[in-house]
Structure 1
Amino acid sequence: MTVLTSSCFIIRNNFYTDPEKCYKEALSEKPFDAIIIPGFPHDSIKGWDRIVQGRVYWALFLYKKGIAKNVIFSGSAVYSPYVESKVMALYAEQLGIPKENIFVETKAEHSTENLYYSYLLAREHGFNTIALATDPVQSSFLVSYKRKFKLTNLKFIPIIYDTLMVMTKENPKILADSAFVKDFIALPERESLYKRVRGTVGVKIKRLLKQQRKEARLERRRLKREVKT
């Protein structure tokens, strides 16, 4: 029983991003240069999904509280013909986040890619303090990838649903045509289940990082040879 309790404690502390605890830490470290908001498929008939609504409103809350200076929405057109990040950006702008403080990452097709590509985008813009702000489940799934992908200065600010519940909600109207992808092919039609699962657990990013390390080693060797000659 003691071993089981200890194991649960270790798992909770290492793999669970507690919303209240993370928020208190964020308050002590604010403002963050940017927060990353992963995308979710857009349905042009049903309108914005509750998951999308929750993530966009959480971004709005963190921006208005001065916790985040900028927001990076991440996601390609994966399961519907709309680029997820662009759709979320349109909603965010309608709700009051200034366009100049909104950035979109449009390549990611999996959660791990949302995290990695958005982190790279943030660094390209000179942002140093960066946080992932999403659902507690997704946040907890991705927490181990901070180490695996060597994402320094990355923090986590998962959604506090009690906070979302008391926020006044609007139903903004957007023109999603600018996010529409012509000749769209959904991910399940392009990749097998096996390949999609590997993408979910970050295999594509791990390969990319491995290739980058290999290229860096080759470059160092080349420079050493030049010095010797």
Structure 2
Amino acid sequence: MRFNRGRFGATILCFVLISLFTSCSMSRYTKKSLEQAEKQKPFDVIVVPGVPYDGDKTTTVMKMRLHWAKYLYDNGFCRNIIFSGSAVYTPYTEGVIMKIMADSLGIPTDRTFSETKAEHSTENIYYSWKMAKSMGFEKIALASDPYQSRLLRRFQKKYCPGTKSIPIVLGTMNIEEKKLPVIDPSTARVSNFKSIKERESFFQRLRYTLGRRVKQEVREARKSRKDKNA
């Protein structure tokens, strides 16, 4: 097969343009969301989805989400924070680990909470929304990275009515200079841990990420209410 430089160059240019467009679009989305949140603050609680904890291998994503949560708390956007996540890929319960870290960063411990059932992004917002409602919180917002926030918008609208999004505005924090506190993770470690990769196939994880488990629970709850009222 003859290498076609023109076609290859056009393909690369296309990818670059798409990336630039997506980046600009995402930047506008995050800034607009923050401006709207500024007008609506303070929220009773923000929901921060969990990230797997693996000691020194902890990712930049966790650092971004934790410091964004602190930024929002310090600047009066929220009164409380729910960190959400079970022990999914590592033996540490994500919601508990992130609460420990948030407390170590100086957020008052009585203002941070752990939701420990969720294993997928749709479950993070749904179970945290239910938890927040049970605690009497009304104004609820999701605080996560831009791509996850955007992907969850339609799901939130249908299954977590009334929730808003305050996605991370990347230019707001110099994330490279931020650090996570050194903690004792022992209280977040679960015994007899089994990774989700051993419990669910790739396609099962994909379906649950898209909300299948939540949708099943909602249908079952509706059916139960209908049976009681019959």
Q: Is 2:63–2:179's contact at 8 Å kept on the other side of the alignment?
A: no
1:155 to 164, 167, 178: 164
Aligned counterparts of 1:30 and 1:168: Cα–Cα separation in 2: 27
How do residues 213-224 of structure 1 correspond to structure 2 at under 5 angstroms?
213-221=222-230
Aligned counterparts of 2:93 and 2:175: Cα–Cα separation in 1: 29
Aligned letter for 1:28? K
Aligned counterparts of 1:167 and 1:30: Cα–Cα separation in 2: 28
SS in 1 for 2:137: coil
- Is 1:40 aligned to residue 51 of structure 2? yes
How do residues 1-229 of structure 1 correspond to structure 2 at under 5 angstroms?
18-46=29-57, 48-149=58-159, 151-165=160-174, 169-221=178-230
C-alpha offsets along residues 24-68 of structure 1, whole Å, 9 cap, x if unaligned? 11010100000000001111243x321000000000000000111
Deviation (angstroms), 1:219: 1.5
SS in 2 for 1:144: helix
Q: Is 2:63–2:178's contact at 8 Å kept on the other side of the alignment?
A: no
Aligned letter for 2:138? N
Residue correspondences, number: 206
In structure 2, stretches of 5+ residues that fail to align are 1-21
Deviation (angstroms), 1:167: 9.0
Q: After the TM superposition, which of the residue ranges 195-204 and 158-167 deviates more from structure 2?
A: 158-167
Q: TM-score, normalised by structure 1?
A: 0.86
Aligned letter for 2:32? K
Aligned counterparts of 1:83 and 1:217: Cα–Cα separation in 2: 35
Aligned counterparts of 1:164 and 1:123: Cα–Cα separation in 2: 30
Aligned letter for 2:36? E
Aligned counterparts of 2:180 and 2:228: Cα–Cα separation in 1: 53
Q: TM-score, normalised by structure 2?
A: 0.85
In structure 1, stretches of 5+ residues that fail to align are 1-11, 222-229
Root-mean-square deviation (CA), in Å? 1.8
Runs of 4+ with >4 A deviation:
none
Deviation (angstroms), 1:183: 1.3
C-alpha offsets along residues 104-131 of structure 1, whole Å, 9 cap, x if unaligned? 0000000000010000010011000000
Aligned letter for 2:71? F
Deviation (angstroms), 1:198: 1.1
Q: Is 2:48–2:83's contact at 8 Å kept on the other side of the alignment?
A: yes
Aligned letter for 1:161? L
